[in-house]
Amino acid sequence: MDLFVLSHVNKIYKIDKKRTFYALRNVTFSLPYTGFVSIVGKSGCGKSTCLNMLSLIDAPSSGNVYFQNKDINKFNDNKKSAYLLNEIGIIFQNFHLIEDEDVIYNIMLPYLISGHNKKEAHHAAEELLKKFQIKKDLYKQKCDSLSGGEKQRIAILRSLINNPLVLVCDEPTGALDKTNSKIVMDLLKNISKEKLVVMVSHNKKLVDEYSDRIIEMCDGKIIRDNYKITTDIKYVKNEKKHAKRASNWLNHISFKNIKRRFKRNIFTILSIVFGLVSTYIVIGFSLGKDKSVINESYKQFDYGSATLSKETSKPISNSVISISQTFKPSLVEKEELMEKFDQFFYVDNLDAFISPVSTILIGENIIENITCYPIYSFEDQSIDKQLLIRGKFPFSNNFAHVVINKSAYELILNQYKINPLNLSVRIKNQFETIYYPSDELEGIKDTFILDTNLTIDGVVDEFSFLDTPKIFYSYIGAADYLNSITLNNLSNFVHRDISWLSRIEMISANDPLSSYSYRLFLKDSNNKDYLKKVISTINAPFVLTSGAFIRESSLIELVNAADSTMKLFLVVILLGTIFIIGILSFFCYNEDKKRSAILSAIGARKGDIFSIYINESLFYVLIGYLISLLITIPITNLANSIISKHYYFHSIINLSWDKFLEVPFFIPIIVFITCIFVALIATLFPMVFSKKISIKDELQNI
């Protein structure tokens, strides 16, 4: 029985669209289980092509190649690599050892691939080295330091370790000198006593000296074959080979690859770290922004102050436009609302008298851009007393005693070089009103003149977003003040004192003096959420307006916009990182094509080779992941402290060790799983789309 039977094998190459070339023409022969068979012929006659038919490096265009009666070209991928691993050893002209590994590892490798552990493999390799009398000091030598003859012997031993049935050797002495050629030929001859050795060679002398059988080829055909049928050929039963494959050997190779390329890949790790830290920070920002912004925006001294007005709109007939008007709500309406929303003080709006834009002077100098706002009282809990940073709150609610915010403090200090504390500033405002007792009578004109001194008792800290210099006066103090000054002409007319405060009660809902609104103050400054709730629940036509709330809302909008932008940016960063991992594995894979071809030739499966690169990417991702895990919190803290210094937000990125390590490790675990997934995709994708590794292209000298 024969080991191999080639039956009518043709190999046709397409040269161009029209022309074809027959590298093998109807080649038919069989090979026994033992002996030394040489294939000879002129260069280009098809010797290597013929040999490649046995080693699966090439497949016939037509015809069949049988190995122990099985058509090897009908094997599936796994069977093919098992065949390469266990049944056949391929010897190349250029040895193709893994050069940066030592001798013993190279010999062990096919044994490791076939599922033996390191110890067994080491032992088997040592046995083999001893059997073939390789000097002991070569065992641990790196292959790149060996001579050609030594390399070829090691390559032969490597092909023997899984005890194959056949060695196929393509010009095994082609790169060797005479002495080494002889050593290698002796070795092969020796092996051919137990196994089949098929060799392609140019060297007629060696062929004649060593071969049991010579097949001569010309132009793809066999022209001579001195096959002597020997009767003593026995059928060699295939011993049971290790069926289960192990993957430990992959780790060693991956590890070596990582070591080899580590320096170059620091950049990759950095980009992974960058991507991951960005991810964590964006997540932290999303988690922390609302709370941080709201906490900060509560630091507005007049947060609880709002105006209540009534808005009506009348459509203009035959037009899409309507006229909208704002009024002060009526007393009845006010009382209804007071009942419904009872956490406010409801008072008259004094803005017409003490205008937010009243003129403020230091001596004769007007302070530009400073505005005046009321708070309810310095004495009760309607104000947030914690905001005081300098001086004190006025002892009582006296209009003449005010506090300013930090921004006003800095304005006065920087522009006028005066310490604002205890400074007296002048407030001025003026307007005329006319009272018409009846249609016939002439109107009674009175002039309101506000011109008084305000002493700055304290400074409050305010949240700096849209923060303008402000003076806060006590509403109660202001009302007292307005109650104490009378309208002279009107008082004379009615023969009793009419104060400016009581004048407000007399005016109509659309008089400018009414400011078209009531002023509301939150009774308890801790109840800031209540203000928000009322603003969102109050129904038309009533409108509750709060400057502080508007500032807060616009800030939240701004921060949300920043959040969306960051998320978008993150997508770009992550795509970039995926791209970098992809490029990395693409280059590694392509750079190592020859190595991979060697591994394929000794029987590694396609999946094994992919695994090597997946391991490598996973390693980088894992390192990046761990580094990012370690540095995210310190970076977050740094970022938070920089942000809080410049923008006033505290902990806007809501990440901390306890948050991070919180059961069930939510964020890091999700990120980890995503990382693994991304690494797999980013690695596999370019490999699947790379050109298939061809042993012939990578390892053969055509």
| Contacts to ligand ADP by CB under 6 A | 13, 21, 23, 41, 43-49, 702
**Tokens describing residue 322:** 């309507």
Residue closer to ligand ADP by CB (options 540, 702) is 702
- For residue 84, the minimal CB distance to ligand ADP (Å) is 20
Interaction partner, residue 45 (Mg ion, ligand ADP, none; CB < 5-8 Å by kind): ligand ADP
Interaction partner, residue 44 (Mg ion, ligand ADP, none; CB < 5-8 Å by kind): ligand ADP
Does 654 interact with Mg ion (rule: CB under 5 A)? no
Helices 528-537 and 547-591 sit at what angle, rounded to 10 degrees? 90
- For residue 45, the minimal CB distance to ligand ADP (Å) is 5
For the CA atoms of the chain, what is the radius of gyration? Answer: 47
- For residue 199, the minimal CB distance to ligand ADP (Å) is 12
CA-to-CA distance for 490 and 496, rounded, in angstroms?
A: 9
Residue closer to Mg ion by CB (options 48, 474) is 48
Residue closer to Mg ion by CB (options 182, 202) is 202
- For residue 700, the minimal CB distance to ligand ADP (Å) is 8
Q: Give Cα separations from 336 to 332, 333, 577 (angstroms).
A: 6, 5, 61
CA-to-CA distance for 137 and 157, rounded, in angstroms?
A: 16
User: Of the candidates 403, 381, 370, which has an alpha carbon nearest to the alpha carbon of residue 474?
Assistant: 403
Specify the DSSP class assigned to residue 548: H
Q: Give Cα separations from 163 to 37, 83, 650 (angstroms).
A: 19, 12, 71
Interaction partner, residue 46 (ligand ADP, Mg ion, none; CB < 5-8 Å by kind): ligand ADP
Does 52 interact with Mg ion (rule: CB under 5 A)? no
Does 173 interact with Mg ion (rule: CB under 5 A)? no
CA-to-CA distance for 675 and 13, rounded, in angstroms?
A: 45
Render 395-443 in DSSP notation, one character per residue: SS--TTEEEEEHHHHHHHHHHH----TT-EEEEEEEEEEEE-SSSSSPP
Strand, coil or helix: 363: coil
Is residue 168 within 8 Å of residue 137, measured between CB atoms?
A: no
Residue closer to ligand ADP by CB (options 11, 245) is 11
**Rule CB under 5 A: which of 624-643 touch Mg ion?**
none
Interaction partner, residue 498 (ligand ADP, Mg ion, none; CB < 5-8 Å by kind): none
**Rule CB under 5 A: which of 390-429 touch Mg ion?**
none
Binding Mg ion (rule: CB under 5 A), the pick from 34, 48, 486, 577 is: 48
Residue closer to Mg ion by CB (options 189, 696) is 696
- For residue 702, the minimal CB distance to Mg ion (Å) is 7
User: Of the candidates 98, 93, 7, 61, which has an alpha carbon nearest to the alpha carbon of residue 598?
Assistant: 98
Residue closer to ligand ADP by CB (options 41, 288) is 41
Residue closer to ligand ADP by CB (options 47, 195) is 47
Q: What end-to-end distance do the CA atoms of the chain give, in Å?
A: 33
Residue closer to ligand ADP by CB (options 43, 133) is 43
Task: Kindly report the number of other CB atoms within 10 A of residue 659's CB atom.
Answer: 15
- For residue 21, the minimal CB distance to ligand ADP (Å) is 6
- For residue 219, the minimal CB distance to ligand ADP (Å) is 9
- For residue 170, the minimal CB distance to Mg ion (Å) is 6
Q: Which stretch binds Mg ion (CB under 5 A): 46-54, 182-190, 460-468, 547-555?
A: 46-54
AA identity, residue 434: I
Is residue 161 within 8 Å of residue 172, measured between CB atoms?
A: no
Interaction partner, residue 21 (Mg ion, ligand ADP, none; CB < 5-8 Å by kind): ligand ADP
Residue closer to ligand ADP by CB (options 219, 467) is 219
Half-sphere exposure of 488 (CA within 13 A, CB side): 5
Please, what's the b/e burial string for 366-392 (b: 16 or more CB within 10 A of its CB; e: otherwise)?
ebeebbbbbbbbbeeebbbeebbebbe
Interaction partner, residue 688 (ligand ADP, Mg ion, none; CB < 5-8 Å by kind): none
Q: Which stretch binds Mg ion (CB under 5 A): 42-50, 274-282, 307-315, 526-534?
A: 42-50
CA-to-CA distance for 178 and 206, rounded, in angstroms?
A: 10
- For residue 170, the minimal CB distance to ligand ADP (Å) is 7
- For residue 56, the minimal CB distance to ligand ADP (Å) is 15
Residue closer to ligand ADP by CB (options 43, 69) is 43
Kind of pairing, strands 518-522 and 305-315?
antiparallel
The closest residue (CB) to Mg ion is 48
Residue closer to ligand ADP by CB (options 13, 677) is 13
Is residue 236 within 8 Å of residue 33, measured between CB atoms?
A: yes
Helices 593-601 and 77-86 sit at what angle, rounded to 10 degrees? 80
- For residue 152, the minimal CB distance to Mg ion (Å) is 16
- Residues binding Mg ion: what is the number (CB under 5 A)? 1
Task: Using CB under 5 A, list all residues that contact Mg ion.
Answer: 48
